Structure 1
Amino acid sequence: MNDVAKVIQLHDVNIEARPPRPTPRRWPEPTIGESTPGQVTSLTERLAATEPPPPQSLSDMLRGAVGKQIGKTADFARRRLTGDYPVDEFGFDEHLLESLILPMLRPMSDLWFRVQVSGMENIPEVGGALIVANHAGTVPLDGLMLQLAIHDKHPKQRALRLLAADLIFEMPVLGSLARKAGHTLACRPDAERLLRSGELTGVFPEGFKGVGKQYADRYKLQRFGRGGFVAAAVRTGTPIIPCSIVGSEEIYPKLADIKPLARLLNLPYFPVTPLFPHFGLLGAVPLPSKWYIEFGTPISTTGYEAEAADDPMTMFEVTDQVRETIQQTLYTLLTKRRNPFTG
């Protein structure tokens, strides 16, 4: 018996002698609407996978929003009760600012004043800087709108620390809220401490002269004091950023001042507007003017020696440069605005 297994050739040995097989014809991929067998199911699944999820019902959306708000409120209450929030040496409570104060201001900014911001790229992402802005409106709402605009529009959501007048901090409730919102007295020592610690600081050099001026003098900058804000910037080597605000002049057009009543109440002025005090609390509602906030090119102070802060002429020149920059920007914005209330 022959034990050698028989080898069965699966392919012909002389492969090259055989003619090549014809290339199989490739049919085009079926498009939507075709009913090629075996592929209808795969196309249906593919289309179903790319379709957006069905929209939620209004009740589901409301329940989700309410549940989310309840969660935020519970977390806020827990942190306030347990003291799980930091407060700096000035009394700044960032948790209260972001959880309560700023959310209360957003409807006024977004829906009532419709604040439009430009030049945000001029505000540094880190380090100290001094923002100098014009002041107006009879009631200083421009400071609050400025702080909210920087927090919401800046890529780092920086907190603006305003330098405010003594009168603000003498008021029982408002003074405490101002401290918790990050603001402090408008004095050189506090300004320098904030700038040296890398904080974004804001100042309104016009003071009550600006916020309380007559409507006939709108958008005409008042005197900028003695240039103390420039000295603070020079001593700390921080840039000065001019800021121009259009729209604040029209919220409470001041037509007159009842000075005897202002002295009785220990106020810098007691305004008379088209609606106040004639309409009582209704007259206290600000008019819905359209706001524009523009941040100008930073003015560097690194070219000055620290001793230059004690030179009145140098401080006057820089102060005048800042003031002129803000005034010219105000004029430019006003020429672009067609109507105080529609923009």
Structure 2
Amino acid sequence: MREARVIPLDRSRRSPAAEAPDGPPVAPTPLRKDPAPTPPTGLRQAFEFARRRLTGEYQVDRFGFDPELTEALLLPPLRALYRRWFRVRVTGAENIPAEGGALVVSNHSGTLPLDALMTAVAVRDNRDRYLRMLGADLVFQVPLLGALARKSGQTLACNPDAEHLLRSGELVGVWPEGFKGIGKPFSARYKLQRFGRGGFVSAALRTGAPIVPCSIVGAEEIYPKIADLKPLARLLGLPYFPVTPFFPLLGPLGAIPLPSKWHIHFGEPIPTDTYEPRAEDDPMLVFTLTDQVRETIQQTLYKLLDQRTNPFFD
């Protein structure tokens, strides 16, 4: 796009006739209007963004991650939710490595996986890194959601993908409780569910990446799940169909999350590069490390809850 040439304008200049020494005074020639101002930087950037999308002048990695789209369209609304609605407080961000591969392991809750998205914003805003989240199959089976997940850097929760990202120096996020954690009833809030078979520990051991425990308080209150319509869930192919105090009673309004105040804490990294080669094949070691990570997160949740006075106004 050619840039418009700016023509300097001297407002103090008068017409030659007006400066003539003889004859009656002549009114000055009206000044030419200033050229139209250049578009604001934000608007120019929007035009450039649209042009690059239309011409294909942007890059994605082998998993479909599109940093430009993530920064321009996906992060801003999530950041507004993060700052204005949930008012997230982050501690321990310095425990996230500034570079190199690492595995962030967190508790999972809230009926909908907003905790994963808020953790990604916390990592981006506090450590200037992208969190490459590992998602369940269901995420990528939903047409629009699956495409957006890929664009934002998510990939399937499997060891080959996780290990490739870790070896490439990426920060990977995993929520081992899966649907057992996110879909648990409100009566079981902040009680961690089983962490599966320790696949995330095997990936960390195989790549030598440190494990960063992450504890999230506040997500349990956004959709208090009081019942599960299992027949409807099976009909729709969902792991559960939640009933909350407001959904489905209030329809779409009931889908608005309650404005709880969140606290995300990143714990001290647990190193995995000190073990012997092929340590991931030792089931007892994998079990021990899995239990250590789980217990660290659970005890941190208890401490954070003990410090909290009110879920919404603390």
Q: Work out whether the TM-score is over 0.5.
A: yes
Q: Distance in 1 between matches of 2:92 and 2:57?
A: 36
Identity across the alignment (%): 66
**Which of these residues, 255, 262, 271, is aligned with residue 284 of structure 1?**
255
Which range moves more in the overlay, 259-268 or 98-107? 98-107
Superposition deviation, residue 79 in structure 1: 1.7
Q: CA-to-partner distance for each residue in 1:21-74, whole Å, 9 max, x for gaps? A: xxxxxxxxxxxxxxxxxxxxxxxxxxxxxxxxxxxxxxxxxxx9x934322321
Equivalent in the alignment of 1:317: 288
- Corresponding residue pairs, total: 277
How large is the Cα RMSD of the aligned pairs? Answer: 1.1
Larger radius of gyration: 1
Q: Distance in 2 between matches of 1:285 and 1:212?
A: 17
Equivalent in the alignment of 1:105: 78
Equivalent in the alignment of 1:135: 108
Q: Distance in 2 between matches of 1:111 and 1:222?
A: 30
Letter of the 1:79 counterpart: R
Equivalent in the alignment of 1:59: none
Equivalent in the alignment of 2:134: 163
Q: Distance in 1 between matches of 2:249 and 2:220?
A: 20
Equivalent in the alignment of 1:275: 246
Superposition deviation, residue 80 in structure 1: 1.0
Q: Distance in 2 between matches of 1:71 and 1:112?
A: 30
Say whether residues 1:264 and 2:235 are aligned partners. yes
Q: Distance in 2 between matches of 1:314 and 1:306?
A: 13
Which range moves more in the overlay, 303-312 or 329-338? 303-312
Q: Distance in 2 between matches of 1:310 and 1:187?
A: 17
Say whether residues 1:82 and 2:59 are aligned partners. no
Q: Distance in 2 between matches of 1:97 and 1:324?
A: 33
Unaligned runs of 5+ in 2: 1-36
Q: Is the contact between residue 234 and residue 305 of structure 1 (CA under 8 Å) also seen in structure 2?
A: no
SS of residue paired to 1:306: coil
Q: CA-to-partner distance for each residue in 1:67-126, whole Å, 9 max, x for gaps? A: 343223212212211222110000000110111100121111100000111111111111
SS of residue paired to 1:175: helix
Say whether residues 1:217 and 2:188 are aligned partners. yes
Q: CA-to-partner distance for each residue in 1:193-229, whole Å, 9 max, x for gaps? A: 1101110000000000000000000000000000000
Unaligned runs of 5+ in 1: 1-63
Q: Distance in 2 between matches of 1:78 and 1:326?
A: 45
Per the normalisation by structure 1, the TM-score is: 0.79
Q: Distance in 2 between matches of 1:306 and 1:270?
A: 44
**Which of these residues, 113, 123, 131, is aligned with residue 96 of structure 2?**
123
Equivalent in the alignment of 2:303: 332
Superposition deviation, residue 312 in structure 1: 1.0
Q: Distance in 2 between matches of 1:184 and 1:306?
A: 27
Equivalent in the alignment of 1:7: none
The runs of at least 4 aligned residues of structure 1 exceeding 3 Å deviation read none
